[in-house]
Amino acid sequence: MRTAGMRAWCVAALAAAAWSGPAQAGGQYGGGLIEYLVTGSTAGPRPQPYRADPIGRGDGTLPGHEAAYGYGGPGSPNPYNGDPMPEAQPYRPRVQQAALPPSYPAPGPAQEAIARAPDPQYLRQEVAFTGSQRPGTVVVDTSAKFLYLVQPGGRALRYGIGVGRPGFAWSGLKTVSAKREWPGWTPPAEMLARRPDLPRHMEGGPANPLGARALYLGSSLYRIHGTNEPHTIGQSVSSGCIRMMNEDVIDLYDRVPVGARVEVL
């Protein structure tokens, strides 16, 4: 019994010595303990960890468990066939989007319209102008949905606008009779007859449909004004007033004095 125990201890010691010895090239079973037990040789490379400090590196490679950074990292031999292990892939977290509940209503035309931004062509810009109007004149091209402030040298500042819907479009010559910052709004009787749900008066502010500024045209009910619905610029939607984006009507307000000529085409 004692002799058998000593013999087992010697075999274990020889195996441990073989495993801890230097790695050699070749080997049918990958070298190390298995190679020694099957063939009696320790030939063959031992897989080595490809990183000294894998924990907490935070470099975005997968998988993130520390076991992935021991034997079998990229470049080290596959213990089954000896081929190099492939490179780790970048970490791309899965993104899941929350679905709307089944009872949530589908967006209607009004919601879809609000989601649209004004077309880039309606952004304020300086352009060539070939009209005969004098500098300082405001020219409203209703069909093209543009307002021009004529400048010297054949140039003009062009603004995108919203105009009267079918049945409410008009043309003619006016002058700027008054200017107001954050004007209040009192719907005329004709509008209240069509829309009795409208308020009788609304103080000026961001929720006011006249927007940040208003230029009143002569003694008419028409104005050039801002809007709290910038998505309507470039459309025929108003009751005859000329609407502009708030930042544009503020710019125009600062450039155009009372008494300026306005031509609506």
Which positions are catalytic?
225, 241
CB distance 175 to 260 below 8 Å:
yes
* Cα-Cα end-to-end distance for the chain: 117
CA distance 122 to 139: 15
Is the separation of the CB atoms in 38 and 29 below 8 Å?
yes
Show the CA angle centred on residue 191, arms to residues 108 and 163, nearest 5°: 65
Which element (helix H / strand E) includes 141? strand 138-141
Question: Which helix or strand (DSSP H or E) is residue 160 part of?
Answer: strand 155-160
Look-up: residue for tokens 């954050």?
182
| Rounded-to-integer distance, Cα 172 and Cα 133, Å | 14
Q: Would you state the structure tokens that stand for residue 89, as one six-digit string?
A: 């892939």
DSSP 77: B
What is the distance between the alpha carbons of residues 228 and 114, in angstroms, rounded to a whole number? 11
Contact (CB, 8 A) for 70 and 55: no
Nearest-angstrom CA–CA distance, 9 and 23: 24
